[in-house]
Structures are given as structure tokens and as C-alpha cells.
Amino acid sequence: MNFNAYLKRINHQGQLAPTAETLRALQVAHLRTVPFENLSIHNSEPIVLDDDALFTKIIERRRGGFCYECNGLFAALLRALGFDVTMLSAEVANATGGFSEPFDHMALMVKLEQRWLADVGFGDSFLEPLLLDAEKEQVQGNHAYRVVSDGEYRVLSRREAGQWTPQYRFTLQPYGYEDYAEMCTYHQTSPQSHFTQNRICSRATEAGGRISLSDLRLIITSADGERTERTLRNESEYADVLREEFAIELGR
């Protein structure tokens, strides 16, 4: 792991000691520079769950990825810096009140003096790592999160309009890349996967908001939740926005 190249990619120039403050700074830097995106799926680029392949894509080619890619490589960086990291299987909440299949999402547990939930691959979610065992409200800007126990699971929720809305649930069982392979293939190939149905590219902004491309829709959300949206004229303008806002040039 050439972690110096990784740190340059995410514009991190701070401390590297394996502490909670370093973890926080690394996650924030990652979310602001490495997009959550599924463009490989729509450009016939196979996604390989391997540290070297992901390093080539995300660091050398300056791309992003979806959860298995972003969190997988982030775990490798953290380990290279001396952190104790565990890959977790998460099940994403759905509109019917249930959850998806195991391994639908990869999250990370980082053990320091306290245990932390880290995640750089879930799109619009918590910016800073969350205490895993606190079971209390954790406020980040205009959002609040909590992680509570539910039998064998921990459930991550975000407070929205005064109500707690589940985002995903997970166990603390450790896993490796091979355990996510089947679901990774599903999300690349199945017509039922939301990743095959439309293109997405999204990152957090320095100002505390978010900028996203959903097919030809450009969506900008401010830190206080104000949202603006416009439809791009064509694929040429789409490529321009990818390059200017996400530093992505497809085919490179």
C-alpha cells in the first residue's frame, strides 16, 4: 500500500497516528474527494474486490466506487496506518420497513480505546465516524444519528423530521472480500439492482452539503438542506460535470 499516494489523493495532510481524531479526519477527507459512484457498471468495467485493483482504480485513475470498493480500500489504508479494522456485513433498510439481504452493504468497525462505525461508501450518510457502543444521539451538523442494539444486530438510524429512520443494520462478525463477491456480482448484473438502473456519482462538499449526478440530473444540496436541481442537456455536458466536479474522466 503506497499510503502516501492515497493520502495525496484525498488531500489529507494531518496526523497519521491511529487515533480517533485521525480516523475522523481521514473519513471526512475521503468523503469529500472520492465519489460514491457506479459508473463502472454502466461502462462494462468489471469491479474486482482486491486491494491492488481498487488502488489502481480509485487512487491512480482517480475514480470513486460503491461500498465494497470505497470501504474495502479505506480499510486497507487504515490497516496500513496501524488501525484495527473489521469489515462488516450490513443490510440496507427498505421502504416496507424491512432490510435487504446480508452483504448488501459493507461497513467498517474500527477498534481504538472505543469502537467506531466508519463508512465512506453509503452515499448521503454520516460524515464523521460514529461511536459504535454509545446508543445515544450523535449530532453532526444538521443531522443526528444513533446506533442501537436489536438482538444480534446494531441498527444505524438518522433523525429525519423528528423521527428516527433506519439506514442499515449490521452484525459485528468479521468478513473478507470473498464474502461480498456474490452480492457484488448481483449489483453489477441484476436488472433488479438499483445500481444497474441508473448512473450515480455523488460526494460531500467542503461547505457541508452534497453534489450529485443522477443520470442527467445535477443535484446540489447545501449544508442547511436547501436543494437545487437541473437537467443537463446531453452526454457532453455530463462529461464536463464529471470532470469539473468529480475529477473523473471516463476511459482514462
Other Cβ atoms less than 10 A from the Cβ of 49: the count is 19
The yes-or-no answer on residue 105 being catalytic is yes
The per-residue DSSP string of 90-149 comes to EEEB-TTS-B--TTSEEEEEEESSSEEEE-SSSSSS-SS-EESS--S-EEETTEEEEEEE
- Which residue among 30, 70, 104, 119 is the active-site one? 119
User: Closest by alpha carbon to 126, among 110, 115, 142, 113?
Assistant: 142
Contacts of 134 (CB under 8 A, 6+ apart): 146, 147
Given 30, 67, 184, 187, which residue is catalytic? 67
SS3 category, 215 = coil
Residue 119 annotated to the active site? yes
Say how far apart CA 189 and CA 231 lie, in whole Å: 27
194 is catalytic: no
Q: Which residues pair with 168 in a beta bridge?
A: 92, 156
Catalytic residue among 12, 30, 105, 187: 105
Question: For the chain, how far is it from start to end, CA to CA, in angstroms?
Answer: 22
Catalytic positions, please?
A: 67, 105, 119
